[in-house]
Amino acid sequence: MDKLLRDAATRAQTYLAGLEGRAVAPSAAALAAVSELAGPFPDQGDEAAKILAKLDRVGSPATMASAGPRYFGFVTGGSLPVALAANWLAGAWDQNAFSTASSPLGAALEMTCLGWLREIFGFPDDAGGAFVTGATMANFTALAAARHAVLAQVGWDVEQDGLFGAPPITVLVGDEGHAALLKAVRMLGLGEGRVHRLAVDGQGAIRAGALPPIAGPTILCLQAGNVNSGAFDPAADLIPTAREAGAWVHVDGAFGIWAKAAPARAALAAGYELADSLAVDGHKWLNVPYDSGLTLVRDPGSLHAAMSISAAYLPDAATREPYDYTPECSRRMRAVEIWAALASLGRVGLADLVETCCRHATMLAEGLSAAGYEVLNDVRLNQVMVCFGDDSLTERVIAGIQADGTAWCGGTRWHGRAAMRISFSSHATKDADVVKTLDAILRVARSNSGG
């Protein structure tokens, strides 16, 4: 065991040290070699050391270098060294964070992290919380609490009686709501086709005045951070109005709500603390390893009612049982990396992490604009969208930068046009990486446009 774990640690260190010098995407040859890991299920197993060596030899080169400094796809955070190290230790602990009995440490870490996270996002001290896999499940968990609460208000017990014959729920979502939020709506039986979409402005934020009159069970879903533009719905206007009319307001803040942690960006996220529930990712901007998401719910009773498997009906704050707040029963101890990341960053370090990513986005956007390319969004957070000409040219530049290997940027569509999307969410990215990335994008763009 000792030798094997030391070998794993050495291999991991070698891998991380090599990220700077390798192409961000795996080569075709490295991907072809993955077939070595396929084949029939062996009758006899092999030695652990040989298995690990093979996994490293074949697997490591086939990875996307998303832990490195120049991966800008899909709003992907890296892993802070302390969060990765905590993850290794927790792997050895192999705790089942199901309950206080199965892991007293897991339950205690969740309590501490919940306290810190409520404070960061401005939620009340007694708000309920759940540690889940990511923002999709965080949205699901929060919307299950919302579904409970808005139906309970009209005397319907959805946990007992289901949705058959239930009073209809109006779900309001901005036209630019994330597909993962709509997936959660579908999974909860609320029907994506029944969702009422709200008009948005040029940045994808819900327009002031787009809120229809609210009557009956209603859930309003806002977004803190559009995945393309980084835009925020106008929470300070919409939340009080909707809540006064009896609606439940949920916020999908997968990455953008972390703006609250950086004083210079916090105004963007003002007012979201008034929401009933919030979904946020740890594995994006907090830079903890996959997978890690969090749900916060102002009224812990609604979350408990939606998720509880215990006989006790009312939550007992003194003995919070994790299984009463999450969709899963057995699960890994996700709070451990969140605890390590927040403890090592502190308020100042967290603000710096968020601010640095935003500053890098501005640096890149300014460089692209100065070179004459069209930046499509107001770069106020960490997301940059750029066009290089018509769709076919933009798509060639995206494919070109991915093949070039200096950096990895993905594609998206914005207002009917193809765009390159560059997301700054990793602690590993330094100023020099932004310069290198800009140089590479400009080189690829010019070579594709014959410039």
**Nearer residue to ligand PLP within complex by CB, 135 or 151:** 135
**Nearer residue to ligand PLP within complex by CB, 204 or 367:** 204
CA distance 272 to 283: 21
190 binds ligand PLP (CB under 6 A): no
252 binds ligand PLP (CB under 6 A): yes
- Got the DSSP string for 268-279? GGTTGGGSSEEE
230 binds ligand PLP (CB under 6 A): no
262 binds ligand PLP (CB under 6 A): no
Bond before 291 cis per omega within 30 degrees: yes
Residue of the chain from 66, 95, 103, 136 that contacts ligand PLP (CB under 6 A): 136
204 binds ligand PLP (CB under 6 A): no
The residue range among 35-43, 143-151, 220-228, 322-330 that interacts with ligand PLP, by the rule CB under 6 A, is: 220-228
**Nearer residue to ligand PLP within complex by CB, 136 or 448:** 136
**Nearer residue to ligand PLP within complex by CB, 328 or 366:** 328
CA distance 41 to 274: 54
**Nearer residue to ligand PLP within complex by CB, 253 or 315:** 253
User: CA distances (Å), 111 to each of 284, 322, 397, in order?
Assistant: 21, 9, 47
Number of helices and strands (H, E) in the chain? 13, 11
The residue range among 102-110, 128-136, 161-169, 303-311 that interacts with ligand PLP, by the rule CB under 6 A, is: 128-136
User: CA distances (Å), 43 to each of 35, 40, 67, 302, 364, in order?
Assistant: 19, 9, 35, 50, 54
* Least distance CB 328 / ligand PLP (angstroms): 15
231 binds ligand PLP (CB under 6 A): no
374-375 and 383-387 strand pairing: antiparallel
293-297 and 374-375 strand pairing: unpaired
196-198 and 128-132 strand pairing: unpaired
334 binds ligand PLP (CB under 6 A): no
Beta bridge partners of 415: none
Q: Which of residues 404-443 bind ligand PLP (CB under 6 A)?
A: none
* Least distance CB 178 / ligand PLP (angstroms): 4
**Nearer residue to ligand PLP within complex by CB, 135 or 357:** 135
**Nearer residue to ligand PLP within complex by CB, 177 or 217:** 177
* Least distance CB 451 / ligand PLP (angstroms): 33
Residue of the chain from 180, 297, 342, 353 that contacts ligand PLP (CB under 6 A): 180
Residue of the chain from 198, 227, 278, 397 that contacts ligand PLP (CB under 6 A): 227
Kindly report the backbone phi and psi dihedral angles of residue 246, in degrees, each rounded to the nearest multiple of 5, phi listed first: 95, 5
Q: CA-CA-CA-CA torsion for 430, 434, 437, 442, nearest 10 degrees?
A: -170
Neighbours of 105 (CB within 10 A): 15
Which of 451, 360, 374, 383 has the alpha carbon at shortest distance from 418? 374
75 binds ligand PLP (CB under 6 A): yes
Contact residues toward ligand PLP (CB under 6 A) are 75, 134-136, 178, 180-181, 223, 225, 227, 252, 254-255, 281, 293
